[in-house]
Structure 1
Amino acid sequence: VSTITEDILKQDVEEGLIWLDWSCIPQVIDAAKDSLEQTLTDQMAAVHSIGAYLDRCSYFWILAPTAMHKDHQTVRDFTTYRSRAWCRLEEWANLLSSTSMMPLVVTEAPRIATYSSLTFILDNAGRPERGPCSGLLSCCSAGHSISIEGERRSIPCDKISIQSVLEKLFSAKMKSLENSLLAYSFVMLETTIAVGSDALAKPELEEFAQKWRVTGQQESTEHGLTLLHIAATSGNAPMVRELLGRRCKGKPWLVDIFGTTAFHGAALVGSVAMAKLFLETSEIDKEQINGYNNFGAAPIHLTSEYGRAEMLRLLLANDAEVDLPKREGSAYAGRTALLCAALRSQFECCEILIQHGASVRARDWCGNTVLHMAALEPLCLVGNQEPNAKMTTVRLLLEANADPSACNDAGLTAAELFALASGHSAGELWLTLWEFS
């Protein structure tokens, strides 16, 4: 994406070929009585071709402006797009494609929005409810039965084909990333993708070690990842329990290439059960609770930013520093957990942090306050997906006496930053900030 100039994008949009996936997949509702079986066969073949099309695309567009559904007279927007299983499959198939393109999200906003693959992975790791198979499906709403020429016919659940496509794409992605550092990021999505699947079966220790080519418990990959790191980040609690049981008490916790321990991995995916297994060893001290990774972030920053509320409570109960800033010299130096939570509209985490004494007057190295963070990304592509999450977050921060008149180092208030970031001259959030100014 960094090599695409504005002129190239303009030319590609004007002259490029567009593949509309939804218009290329046969629909059973359009089938005649004597062609239902063939339509179902063709539909499955079309669905399995989605990955092949994505591998050949230069851009992945999500068109989700706010509109009224003609038949149901209900509002459709990016939030409802994210709620649909087939729409989720599009997004996840792109992530698992060979190119993993940064999506270009088009709404009624004047500016296109996007997100990186890594933030999407971190946001969805260990969250089966976010996976495609947990989305809404018309076949389920119809009771897996449709009327064709006056006759009721049974149809299979679309989850079957969606699960099949996901597992094949995930398997191909992991194979292509073999021996790559990226593989250890994508493994965090296994529990989200494999909802209700045999793929979630937990392997024995020997099989697990062979899969990741790590011969001993204290051995590690070329990237410094031990079996305990991998088990923690993949959400494999039984394996974590077994490995901790075999661990030599008193040995130092190994750190991977990212500067994280296995405990940090458990915190990252939000598994309170796994984190408690580590804490039960009585060898997770305050230094590790508040330890920075190589990107300058500690567990409290990541759990707050990605809405792991129960994990946040656990960290705070175990001496996590509520106003710990991101490390000086890092990309987002100075950001506290409250600023991280505000950025992603994680109002529950904001509330927890404020209850524990977090400062609403904290600033990052650019002088941004919690309100600037809330205004920075007008459309929540990553973070809290609830429709009113941003408004709820802003009101919570204002009620906690955050200062709407405060300017950052660029001389902008949060309201002015929101107007600049969104391209809008006004909006509900913008007006709310001005009301409190």
Structure 2
Amino acid sequence: MGSSQGSAQGSGTSEVAEDGMTSCNTGVHQCSFPMYVVKVSDFLEMEGVPEPHHVLRRKGLLHEWQPSMFVIFVSHQWLGNGSPDPSGQQMTVLRRALQSWTDGSMTVEVDLMRTFGDQRRFTSSYERVATAYLFLDWFAIPQLTERADGVNDDATTSDTARAVQSIPAYVESCDMFVALVPDLVHSDTGLQCNYGTWLSRGWCRAELWCRLFSNREDTRVVLIFSGREALFIMPLDWQRSLIADGLFTVECDRTVVMKLGERALRSKIEHLDRWGPLTDYRFYLAQEPRLLNQQHGGFSLQGFLRHFSFPSLHDAVKHESGMTGMLCALFAGDADILQSLVKHSADVNARISGIAHLGYSDTLTLLMVAAYSSQEPKILSTLIMSRADPDTVCVSEAGSLVTAAWLATQPGHVQVLLEKKADLAASPPLTGAGAVSNARTVKAFLEARCDAGHVSPNGFGPMYSTAFCGRGSPDAPAILQMLLSSRGDANARAKPRGLLYKECLRARVSAALWGLEGCTVYQRQMASLPGATPLSIAAVMGDQRLVRLLLEHDAEPVANDRGDTPEDLAKAAGHTDLLPILSTFHV
């Protein structure tokens, strides 16, 4: 939901039972209060500070959910203690995004790294938005304020409490899920509220899980960063965001919300077991203990085969697309089963395929997957001792040379790779760590004497990868600070080469024709890269934390090769909140 405890809370399939209670007629979660929604067309006519439930109801702007409605669930972090958006900034961003979808000037895209080379096949325009309805907690839940009591308190008979308890059911009933995550400041605490802080909230994670684990055909999650930028969430972002580790204003909410997440995940697994696909079933089944913060149970070989529905040992060890036996054992964190499968001729250096939709690109090796999915160091050690090659290279579509070190996400991974004599010079691991890892892992690489200024053969380096990929990571400022303290250059200008440069040139053609504002997010970011400094990249990404940090380290607001300054890039991407910061430091 909103306030300091979480994000927006949403919609549910509801009907009034004979006892007068509202109950769900479909779905996994109980619905105890009707879901109220607002027409998108009415919302676009609103201005300023959002009005609460009772005001909208008096004006006749609230509608009770009906099965024929196309409903958008809006999840957001509150920007004030008593109001979700005291200055109306957040709602302005939402209106601009909805209007852009309605008039066709913006699509929802996949992030830069997954879109490379094919920016059209993943986009969605959402033509139904114009006639859709919105679920927003402030609009839908009566007398909602910053919560002083938990969801499991004694006041469960109140409409507010029953509506809050119905949030998982509301999420299930919505057709589209949007996380509203522009980089703005909380009016009471003065703290930044952005994608990273939204993703850290326990209630927001619960909403996210209820969406992703629903049995709908389309379970995608849209992130709105500005009125000109909307992306689908990266799978690894939610897979690393456990409800058990989330932040809760009311600590007693944690256990209750964890049970909601567990119910959603187990329902997903049961559905996949019955209807498939088998690859997804095995993936979620293998991830279940980790996602629920439970102990991994060791398998016997026969128990493993039964658990993951392998008809025979031969089926488990053969190399094929999807969730092989080796991948099941890897994601389950079972080193003994990995060793057993290798002894029965499983290929420890096999390259994966068929699970890109779950966040793991084709041609990665098992060792790379183990590192990227944050498995315990023991799993990496077991694979290497079974003759997995730590120096195998995967060439990304952008021309980066990806190794297991490049995808390391724990300091223990670095230690294992060093002990096993991995060649850290083959591909600068800090470039990968700056994008996908955390401060502790980056520190381990720096202590191993990796060079913060070393760039990949395609011209991409850690200062750029951190700026491009940092806005979802709470560690990004600490990572950037360590790179700067280790001779990273705040004013280094990007010089893309090879495949990366060719893609930049393609994007610059589009920018020349339509202007940066008229480009897709992908085209804008790629066209901006040649000659860009870390400050330029942080500006086009809208990351206030990194922009401020770079300016404090004497980053100059120089133009890129196209002549775009950081201010130009921030404006083109719709991150107007950055303009005062950039202009103040420039003066």
Q: How would you bin the TM-score normalised by the shorter chain?
A: 0.5 to 0.7
What displacement does 1:16 show? 2.9
What displacement does 1:213 show? 3.6
Structure-1 residue corresponding to 2:221: 102
Contact conserved, 1:378 with 1:418, CA < 8 A, in 2? yes
Structure-1 residue corresponding to 2:291: 193
1:430 aligns with 2:582: yes
Specify the SS of the correspondent of 1:68: coil
1:378 aligns with 2:542: yes
Contact conserved, 2:176 with 2:221, CA < 8 A, in 1? no
Distance 2:482 2:376 in 1: 16
One-letter identity of the residue aligned with 2:224? V
One-letter identity of the residue aligned with 1:405? V
Distance 1:10 1:306, change over 3 A: closer
Specify the SS of the correspondent of 1:105: strand
Structure-2 residue corresponding to 1:170: 265
Structure-2 residue corresponding to 1:391: 548
1:89 aligns with 2:206: yes
One-letter identity of the residue aligned with 2:180? I
Distance 1:139 1:319 in 2: 42
1:131 aligns with 2:245: no
One-letter identity of the residue aligned with 2:203? W
What displacement does 1:166 show? 1.2
Distance 1:254 1:320 in 2: 30
Bigger RCO of structures 1 and 2 (CA < 8 A, at least 6 apart) = 2
One-letter identity of the residue aligned with 2:395? Y
What displacement does 1:173 show? 3.5
1:255-314: CA deviations, max 9, x gaps? 1111011110121123461465147528454632x4335775514254331234444566
1:342 aligns with 2:467: yes
Out of 371, 391, 395, the position equivalent to 1:292 is 395
Distance 2:133 2:289 in 1: 35
Out of 152, 176, 183, the position equivalent to 1:58 is 176
What displacement does 1:344 show? 2.3
Out of 181, 204, 210, the position equivalent to 2:306 is 210
1:366-395: CA deviations, max 9, x gaps? 31533333222105xxxxxxx835533x25
Structure-2 residue corresponding to 1:151: none
Structure 1: gaps spanning 5 or more residues: 141-156, 327-333, 380-386
What displacement does 1:112 show? 5.4
1:165-223: CA deviations, max 9, x gaps? 2122223434555336566776796466313x47x545444333334344438724641
Contact conserved, 1:188 with 1:269, CA < 8 A, in 2? no
Distance 2:190 2:483 in 1: 37
Distance 1:39 1:260, change over 3 A: same
What displacement does 1:343 show? 1.1
Distance 1:275 1:407, change over 3 A: farther
1:99-130: CA deviations, max 9, x gaps? 22332537xx6x2543323x2x22344x4xx4
Contact conserved, 2:178 with 2:222, CA < 8 A, in 1? yes
Contact conserved, 1:305 with 1:341, CA < 8 A, in 2? yes
Distance 1:74 1:372, change over 3 A: closer
Structure 2: gaps spanning 5 or more residues: 1-71, 73-99, 105-124, 354-361, 407-430, 471-475, 505-529
Specify the SS of the correspondent of 1:49: helix
Mapping for residues 26-41 of structure 1, pairs under 5 Å: 36=155
TM-score normalized by structure 1?
Answer: 0.66
1:268 aligns with 2:372: yes
Distance 1:403 1:309 in 2: 25
Contact conserved, 2:493 with 2:531, CA < 8 A, in 1? no
Distance 1:17 1:174, change over 3 A: same
Distance 1:224 1:138, change over 3 A: closer
Specify the SS of the correspondent of 1:427: helix
Aligned residues: CA RMSD: 4.7
One-letter identity of the residue aligned with 1:407? N
TM-score normalized by structure 2?
Answer: 0.51
Contact conserved, 2:200 with 2:246, CA < 8 A, in 1? yes
Instruction: Tell me the matched-pair count.
Output: 377
What displacement does 1:424 show? 2.0
Distance 1:167 1:420 in 2: 42
Structure-2 residue corresponding to 1:152: none
